[in-house]
Each structure stands twice: as C-alpha cells, then as structure tokens.
Amino acid sequence: MVKTKVIHVITRFDKGGSAENTFLTVQGLNKDKYEVILIQGLAEESLMGPEETVAVERNLAEAEKSGVKVITIPELVRSIQPLNDLMALFALIRIFKDERPHIVHTHTSKAGILGRWAAFFTNITIIVHTPHGHVFWGYFNKGKTACFILVERLTASITDKIITLTEQEKKDHLHFKIAPDEKFTVIHSGVDLAAFSDSRINASTMREKLGIPPEAFVVGTAGRLTPIKGQRYLLEAAALISLRKPDIYFVFLGDGELAPELGHMASSLWINNIMFLGWRQDVPDVMSTFDIFVLPSLNEGMGKVLVEAMALGKPIVASNVGGIPDLVTHNHNGLLFPPADAEGLAHSICVLLHDPVKRKEMGDRGKVVAADYSAEAMIKKIDRLYGEAIS
C-alpha cells in the first residue's frame, strides 16, 4: 500500500492551542496510511521558560517516536522579518521538491502564507490550511489589517481546503471574502480529554500545595500572557470585585511577554490574593482548583482551553467574540460579556459567585459540551477530508 505523504507546517511549535492541535494531528494520523512530516520554526518568539521548553521537546520526541519526521527551519518565524521570510520560503520550496508530498497542510497565518505559496511553486497537488483563528481585528491597525486580508484572499485562491475551528470563524472568513463557501470545512480543535477528567484529580490537595484556603473562592484563567488574550481586563475586573470581596483569589496560568506589565498592574491596583503561576505542566490539577474559569480574549479562533475547563466541570465566563460563542452558550454552560469590558466581566463573575446552584448546573452542562471535542474526533475528520481531497 502506497502511503499518502503529508507535510504539516507551523511557525511556533510551543504549548499554545494551535501547536497542540498540530501535535495531536501529526501524532494521531494513522502511520500505516500516512507518511507524516512536521516542519517547525524555533518558536523563540514564544519566550518559553525552561519547563515549557522541556514539554515541547517531549512533544517532539513523542511525535518522532510515533513515526513523524521533524524538520526545523530556523528562519520560519511568526513576526514579519523580510529576510528570514524569504529564506524560509526558499527552504520550504527545497524541502517540498525533495519530499514531493501529496498534501501540504499549513497552520496559522504566517506559516500559511509561506507554506502555501511554496507548495504552489512546487506544484503540490493538495494544499490545506488551518488558520487557527484570524487577524482580521484585534491585532493591527486598519491599514496593516487590510494588507493581511488582501494577502489572505490571494493565498486562499491557491488553497484547496481551509479548515476553521468553529462556524463563527468560517463566517468571519466569509464576511471578509477570503474564499468561497465551498473551500471551507469546520473541524473543531481536539483535546486530550482524559488528562482533564476530574476523576483523577484531587483539587483539595492542589489547593494546599498552592497555599489557597479550602473555603476560598477562586477565579482562574489560563493562556499565553499577550495583549490579544485580554488578561488586563480580568485584572481590572479583579480590582472592582476585590473592593466588595477582598478574600477572593485570582489565578493566572501561563507566561508571555506581558508578564512583567501585568504583575506591575496588579500591584498598582492593590488586588488581594492574586497569583501568577507562569507556565506549568500540571495545568489540569491547577485548573481543578478554580470555581470559575474566565477567558477575556479580544479575538479567539475557538478557545481550546474552554474545552479543557468544561471537561473539568467548570462554569465559564468568556468574552463574546470569535469562536467562543460556538462553545459557550450564554446562561447555559457559562456567561458571555462584551470584549474589553472590565465592568461587564466583573458583573458576570459576581453573578456566578453568588449562585452556587447556577455554577453547578453550568459546569455539568459544560461536561456534555466538552465530550464532542476529543482529539480522536478531530483526527477522524481530518483523515476524511484528506481522503476526499485525494479522491
């Protein structure tokens, strides 16, 4: 049996959502059916700490052990760097010429542009792209955003299939006329749900390790500390809530370029009981201590971390933006508030803070929602898409 050769391309192979999605895909594809190659950048822009770096190296080792060939292109970076971008484009062209894959599957905006054009220049038969969100708002000024939209439209013209993580992400692409409807397919980002099963986690023990009192109310979030994730609005909300309930705990999981600024902001707002835990390997255990999970993003493709929180039975408070409403139905498994609205966020947290019955009901409903987002389901859909494209 001749295997189908697939090359996946991504710039930043860290522990973020897009990289984890890519990792689960390349590892999970049937190696009796597919020959899988992963091309990655160095992910230096992620400013990974030692623990995250070790975790990424473990992922790469697991991928290779499962039969994935890993190739690193140092010039393949996330930010716009014309010289590096040109070098990365030529490197991709050389690799595609040598490997002659049946399918090139790119991930995220920058790798999507360079990887798809390299595939086009080398006459690759099938080109697939997963944006993992978009940059149509929340990232750049109007002029720069318009340029990105134009480039995405041009590149979509040479793309066979575009995978969006949610229906809303697809609608956003259609709204900006990136490509016709028939080029899109929705495949939710998969999650290793077994790791977030609350049956294997002792939240009380974790609270003791973190120094959080057993009776304390905990509001938590997780994600890279970067402007688009909107953590500053959670800090502003925390300051408002602390005026009325000074014993509440606020826990931030994750690291990133905004860490020093957010720490300084927390000090200046005089917020009690705030914890910046950085990046950790025991994310499920730490999240198990939360009474409410908050995602205050300004733009979000899907919000994979929401599935993880729901798998743990946590009620959600999240911004009503991007693909988040596809996962969180207002007043069903969580509460939605307008993005960049600290007062609205504080109000939503307080609603759940004072209603334990509503928290329990929302958490139980969230578990049902999370069950549809397994890694196995995602890989089956991607396998089906590849098969349809080839045939």
How do the domains of the chain map onto residue ranges?
4-190+374-390, 193-370
The mean predicted confidence, pLDDT, of the chain is 92
CA distance 253 to 221: 6
| pLDDT for residue 137 | 65
The answer to whether domain 4-190+374-390 and domain 193-370 are alike in fold is yes
Average pLDDT rounded to a whole number, residues 242-252: 93
Does residue 43 surpass a pLDDT of 70? no
pLDDT in tens, 134-182: 877 666 678 788 888 999 999 999 999 999 998 989 999 999 999 999 9
Confidence of residue 321 (pLDDT cuts 50, 70, 90): very high
Return the SS3 of 282: coil
pLDDT of 56 reads 80
The pLDDT-based confidence of 55 (bands split at 50, 70, 90) is confident
pLDDT for the residue 107: 96
Residue 301's pLDDT band (boundaries 50, 70, 90)? confident
With a cut of 80, say whether residue 376 has pLDDT above it: yes
Would you identify the CATH topology of the domain 193-370? Rossmann fold (3.40.50)
Pick the CATH number of 4-190+374-390 from 3.40.50.2000, 3.60.15.10, 3.40.30.10, 2.60.120.650: 3.40.50.2000
- How large is the average pLDDT for residues 359-387? 94
pLDDT tens-digit series, residues 194-227: 888 765 678 899 999 999 999 999 999 999 999 9
- What are phi and psi for residue 343, nearest 5 degrees? -65, -40
Average pLDDT, stretch 49-66?
85
Beta strand ranges found along 176-319 (DSSP E): 184-186, 218-222, 249-253, 274-278, 292-295, 316-319
- Distance between CA atoms of 173 and 152, rounded to whole angstroms? 10
The whole-number average pLDDT for the span 117-123 is: 98
Residues 6+ apart with CB under 8 A from 202: 285, 288
E-strand ranges in 270-361 read: 274-278, 292-295, 316-319, 334-337
Tell me the DSSP string of 75-130. Answer: T--SS--HHHHHHHHHHHHHHHHHH--SEEEEESHHHHHHHHHHHHHTT-SEEEEE
- How much is the pLDDT for 45? 59
Mean predicted confidence (pLDDT) in 230-243: 96
pLDDT range class, residue 46, cuts 50, 70, 90 = low
One-letter identity of residue 62: E
pLDDT of residue 225: 94
Q: Which two tokens stand for residue 81?
A: 């760097």
Q: For residue 119, give the nearest of 180, 161, 179 by alpha carbon.
A: 161
Q: If you average pLDDT over residues 254-275, what whole number do you get?
A: 92
Distance CA 215, CA 349 (A): 17
Gap between the Cα atoms of 239 and 220, Å rounded = 14
- Percent of the chain predicted with pLDDT > 90: 74
Residue 42 pLDDT? 80
Q: Higher pLDDT residue, 98 or 244?
A: 98
